[in-house]
Chains A and B, each alone.
Chain A
Amino acid sequence: MGLLSIIRKIKRKEKEMRILMVGLDNSGKTTIVLKINGEDTSVISPTLGFNIKTITYQKYTLNIWDVGGQRTIRSYWRNYFEQTDGLVWVVDSSDLRRLDDCKMELDNLLKEERLSGASLLILANKQDIKGALTPAEIAKVLNLESMDKTRHWKIVGCSAYTGEGLLEGFDWLVQDVASRIYMLD
């Protein structure tokens, strides 16, 4: 391999971002990933394991790790923490009963040292469903205001079904990560 190709490769790598999508089962993680990638979302089975999608977004390459949220496999989330630049926490805004569960799992996640530098995007999904809580309400229930002051975070309402709000959320996430790790650009 010539020096130039090595430099090119490093350069290309530099524009990569690693995004980890987590959240309770049934929150819509896989649907969100497929939707922003412009794929069909009508037939999605609950994720058994994980999916990786590489998406070119603006001038960056996003490696999105979409990890299954069933209770049995949540303990495996930590296998994906390493080198995460952006963390996406997906909430089913219509699942009022499990908001407690949702808060507990998010709190556990944010205690994780390996994720301490990651920007956090909270997607209040399923806004298309009547009766869903608004992003402001979700923020209140999850007590986001009391989060560690050093954390970069934002909550955005979205609907993976219609696609609304997804770009707004990912725009913020990518910009925030970029401004942190590619400051020299």
Chain B
Amino acid sequence: MEEDRSHTNLPTKTLGLDADLQKKHQAMLDRLSNRHQARLDTSLARRSDSANSSESTSSFLSRFSASKQSIDSQLADSRLIATSDPSRLRSHFANISSSISDLEKLVAENSYFLPSYEVRSSLKTISDLKQNLEILNSELIPKKKFSFKNKATAKKELPKEPEPIKPDTVSVSNFKLPNSPGFRNKTNETLVKKLRGTEIGEFTLSDLESCEVRLIGCCNAVFMNRLTNCKVYMGPVIGSILIEGVEGCVFVLASHQIRIHLAKGCDFYLRVRSRPIIEDSNVVRFAPYCLDYEGIEMDLEKAGLSEETGNWGNVDDFKWLRAVQSPNWCVLPENERVGKVRTEDIGS
């Protein structure tokens, strides 16, 4: 277009101009014709190039169907990925999307020699593929009204991960904190505490390794952090239990609320009035509460837990806010559960 205009303007504009301007104009014309030639050359080169790679309709069709097949199989894979490794889903979809646009480019490059029927049918295939991708995308990465997407949280999680390693003391001030009742820094021990008749409100278990803990009676709140390969048997807790950083443990707990953070490879036998939650945890399994000791009925009643609520299996995973089952936890198969645990029997 620009070229055309400059040509048509030529006669009127150049007529009365001095030689200098004319020279300039000539240079411009030369440049334009050079550009035109260069463009012709490259387009010829491109044609011969694509002609080399697919000289005929049939070779185009075979290339086309091969990549279509690979995209189809990628699409089929996404369901598998959605169940096994959902965090990869986004990049997986991005890959498919780029393969589809490559395919689209292939069609466009070859469209000048393809029969119009083939062009139309290839374009139709591409739009079908796009649609399938769209459907899978909206199905496997559902949009919720209020959703917590993995992407955003992963970003926030990164710098925060090392936090649980912090020491127990509050370093932010010179304020000295009283040490609350609990078991701390023990290895290979059996730790027993009778809470009944004591004034203990909250109880702490921290930094225990290969220990067995038995708490008999009620208390108001329990905190546990950094336990490895421990067994924890606990009478009912009236308020809440907060667990952070546990690995390879077995817990038998009853409480109003139970929050489990950073747990790995643990079994939980629970009775809870509300829904237990897990966050940043994996390979955790759940089963109903199974503790028994002299007078446990009285304690359960005191904590409002005398009846099974069934909530032990209603686990909310804050790292998996989707309708489908979280891959991070499961129900402990019945044949792998321990039977009724009586404190008289355990560890003795």
Which residues does A use to contact B, with CB under 8 Å? Answer: 25-26, 42-46, 48-50, 70-76, 94-97, 99-101, 103, 126, 128-133, 137, 140-141, 143, 161
Q: Interface size for chain B: under 10, 10 to 19, 20 to 34, or 35 or more residues?
A: 35 or more
A44–B279 CA distance with the chains assembled, in angstroms: 18
Most-contacted residue by chain B among A45, A48, A103 (CB, 10 A): A45
Decide: B257 and A44 in contact? CB cutoff 8 A.
yes
Contact of A143 among B160, B172, B181 (CB under 8 A): B172
Enumerate chain A residues within 8 angstroms of B273, measured Cβ to Cβ. Answer: 42-43
Q: Is B18 an interface residue (CB 8 A)?
A: no
Contact segment of B97-105, B135-143, B151-159, B324-332: B151-159
Chain B proximity of A37: nearest CB distance (Å): 18
Enumerate chain B residues within 8 angstroms of A141, measured Cβ to Cβ. Answer: 170, 172-173, 175, 177
A-B pair number, CB within 8 angstroms: 119
Enumerate chain A residues within 8 angstroms of B156, measured Cβ to Cβ. Answer: 72, 74-75
Q: Is B199 an interface residue (CB 8 A)?
A: yes
Decide: A99 and B274 in contact? CB cutoff 8 A.
no
Beyond A26-B259, A71-B261, A126-B221, is A46–B275 a contact (Cβ under 8 Å)? yes
A103–B261 CA distance with the chains assembled, in angstroms: 20
Decide: B157 and A137 in contact? CB cutoff 8 A.
no
Chain B proximity of A129: nearest CB distance (Å): 4
Contact of A131 among B168, B172, B181, B257 (CB under 8 A): B181
Interface of chain B residues 228 through 263 with chain A (CB within 8 A): 239-240, 242, 256-257, 259, 261
Chain A proximity of B87: nearest CB distance (Å): 14
Chain A proximity of B46: nearest CB distance (Å): 49
Contact of A72 among B178, B304, B318 (CB under 8 A): B318
Decide: B148 and A76 in contact? CB cutoff 8 A.
yes
Enumerate chain B residues within 8 angstroms of A103, measured Cβ to Cβ. Answer: 170, 172
Decide: A46 and B277 in contact? CB cutoff 8 A.
yes
Contact of B175 among A76, A94, A97, A137 (CB under 8 A): A137
A-B contact pairs, 23 of them (CB 8 A): A26-B240, A26-B257, A45-B274, A46-B275, A46-B277, A48-B316, A48-B318, A50-B146, A71-B318, A72-B153, A72-B157, A75-B152, A76-B148, A94-B202, A97-B168, A99-B177, A128-B201, A129-B202, A129-B220, A131-B178, A131-B181, A131-B200, A133-B177
Decide: B201 and A26 in contact? CB cutoff 8 A.
no
A44–B276 CA distance with the chains assembled, in angstroms: 10
Decide: B259 and A100 in contact? CB cutoff 8 A.
no
Chain A proximity of B339: nearest CB distance (Å): 29
Q: Is B185 an interface residue (CB 8 A)?
A: no
Enumerate chain B residues within 8 angstroms of A126, measured Cβ to Cβ. Answer: 221, 239
Decide: A46 and B199 in contact? CB cutoff 8 A.
no
Besides the contacts A26-B240, A42-B256, what 9 more A-B pairs have beta carbons closer than 8 Å?
A43-B274, A45-B257, A49-B146, A71-B279, A72-B318, A96-B180, A100-B170, A103-B172, A143-B172
A136–B242 CA distance with the chains assembled, in angstroms: 24
Contact of B201 among A43, A99, A132, A140 (CB under 8 A): A132
Decide: A130 and B257 in contact? CB cutoff 8 A.
no
Enumerate chain B residues within 8 angstroms of A45, measured Cβ to Cβ. Answer: 257, 274-275, 277, 316
Enumerate chain B residues within 8 angstroms of A46, measured Cβ to Cβ. Answer: 257, 259, 274-275, 277, 316
Decide: B204 and A97 in contact? CB cutoff 8 A.
yes
Interface of chain B residues 154 through 193 with chain A (CB within 8 A): 156-157, 160, 163, 166, 168, 170-173, 175, 177-178, 180-181
Q: Is B38 an interface residue (CB 8 A)?
A: no
